[in-house]
Amino acid sequence: MFRSRARGRAGGRSKRLVRPDAKGLQLIQWETNERALFERQCRIILAFFLLVLAGYVLRLWYLQVLNGAHFREISESNRIRITAVRAPRGLIFDRNGTPLVENRPAYHLMLVREDIKAPEEVERILEELARICRRPLRELLDALEANKDKRPFEPIRLLEDLDRDALARLEARRLRLPGVYIEVEPKRSYRWNGTAAHLIGYLGEISEDELKDEAFRGYQAGEFIGKGGVEKTFEALLHGEAGWRQVEVDALGRQIRSLDEKLPIPGRNVWLTIDLDVQRTAEECLRDQIGAIVAVDPRTGEVLAMASSPAYDQEKFVRGMSTDEWKALINDISHPLLNRAIASSYPPGSTHKPFVALAALEEGVVDPTTEIFCPGWMQLGTRKFRCWRDWGHGHMNLYHAVVQSCDVYFYQVGLKLGVDTIAKYVKMFGFGQKTGIDLPGERSGLVPTREWKKTTKGIGWQKGETLAIAIGQGFNLVTPLQAAMAYAALANGGVLMEPRIVTRIEASSTADDHFLPSASPRRKLPVHRKNLDLISKALEGVVGHEHGTAHRIHVKGIRIAGKTGTAQVVRMPEGVSRKLLEKVVKDMHRDHAWFVGYAPADNPEIVVSVLVEHGGHGSSAAAPLAQKVILSYLGKRGLAGSVEGNDQKETVAEGPWAGD
């Protein structure tokens, strides 16, 4: 009975209805409203999308059905074309603002295959183009074949750099040549027929490997880049930034209108330190010879001239060379592409003696009054080492030993110093290391030491080799630029400068003018000024003293200091005099001729280094060339007026050439 009542009570509770309170009623009402709002928004969005879709359908019906024929005709006759617009390359000037390298417009013949309706028409068009341009048909067919992998709408360059007569004939027949158009782009123009070719450099087409280089990001196949000289070193500044042009053209490839464009940013102009007149004088001096001339300002390190002979015609690279022409150029035994001023090194000969003399003074091995007797030779063991003057110089102090270039004096001094001490001092002046010039391909030369020979040759140093080093022979190797910078340090009181070839980088649309520092000293040399003055006095005596080896280039009113040098190419057999050897050797075995000097000696403004390969004596082959370059520069500065009107006999002393 008890259980029955319990079940009854429980059953009664489960059937009871619970009436919602006020809050519950509000919640139910809110949910109902939200659902209605959501459904209304969905209907609006759906209606919007249906409306947009209907608009698209109507537009397609209008274009494809109602006006389909009309628009098909337009699409067949007119096209949108986007073409790259190459930036004009920056110009190059000399220090006085004379243009050395400019740009000119070049006209290229282009073809777009997509604009030719019938494929068989291509051959007819090429045949007619060959007749109009007066070029072999094979040349155009080869260009087409080389670009066969291009897409039909991509332009193909058939011919480059058309002349104006060909352009006029093309224009007259334009309507018969669908898909043909003329592309205009700036092209390099080297104004002075190869002047300063090695310094300026040349352009060449970018290679596949270069396109992968991070330095050429953004470059396109077919672009030209600097391959040598300033053109290469300053490529990033000279190149500029390409633009583009979007145009509408008709079926014949004729432009109807311009739609949009991005103008190219021209490359930045570069001002060099060289003086065009001095440069041309230096190159004229080397005409028909092999060698190099470098002129620098000892106060700033600025390169006033840099000539290397033989040179090459940069315009050939602009026009393009055949394979045979390129092979002939690179296989030429005179190596015209080689910049001998920085990339060839030679024994310095007697131009090295002033540095050995300075080392002897600094080390206390000799003083200005120390005399050494020269009988014309020196005995070392069983060997005789000869002086260039067979009959000797007699008693020589340091001044006269430099002036007359006495070999025996420097043999004796060299033995006392030793090769490592000599190396220590010549390295101070920058020998054996690159100068840091902003040109590719510089060599460091060679300053030998005992350790160097042991490491590279596997044998010890010999005393006889020290004698050769003391007079600038043996393992010594020097570039003409190194010699110029070392003598600049003698001329300016002991400051080794870094050579500079650029003085100013002109503004572009995105950057201001940038003037480079006027002087770039590498280091102040730890030598005594009194010893430098003594060496400078001796170098002035080389030209000014009646017994100086370069006395024949003495000029009234101009104090020139310098040193001649003769670098042996063929080793002199023991006991054979230099004069006898010279009579039997052929031209390619003659000694190299050196002269390095500066002027005015009391306040130097120019240093000139001259190297003539197989020229013989420095006094006869190199010194007169240096004189011409010095007078060319000082004449422009108003410092050579006193020599005007003097004839050759008055300005250049008479007498036989000195032997060194």
Q: Which of 354, 412, 399, 405 is nearest to 660 (CA)?
A: 405
491: left (phi over 0), alpha (psi -120 to 50) or beta: alpha
What's the rounded Cα separation, in Å, for the pair 444 and 506?
A: 31
Q: 308 Cβ partners below 8 Å, 6+ apart? A: 198, 286, 291, 292, 338, 339, 340, 341
Active-site residue flag, 444: no
Describe the chain by its helix, strand, coil percentages, rounded to 5. 40, 20, 35
Catalytic choice (308, 309, 345, 350): 350
C-alpha to C-alpha distance for 503 and 271, rounded to whole angstroms? 6
With 0-12 CB in 10 A as exposed, 13-18 as middle and 19+ as buried, what is 97? Answer: exposed
**At 258, which helix (H) or strand (E)?**
strand 255-262
The residue count of the chain comes to: 660
For residue 336, give the amino acid letter: P
Tokens of 471: 């007079």
Residue 134 in 3-state DSSP?
A: coil
Structure tokens that stand for 360 in this block: 């002897």
> Could you give the angle at which helices 419-428 and 463-470 cross, rounded to 10 degrees?
30
Q: What is the C-alpha separation between 610 and 626, in angstroms, rounded?
A: 6
Q: Let me know: does 301 contact 437? Beta carbons within 8 Å.
A: no
In sequence order, the β-bridge partners of residue 565 are: 594
Residues noted as catalytic:
350
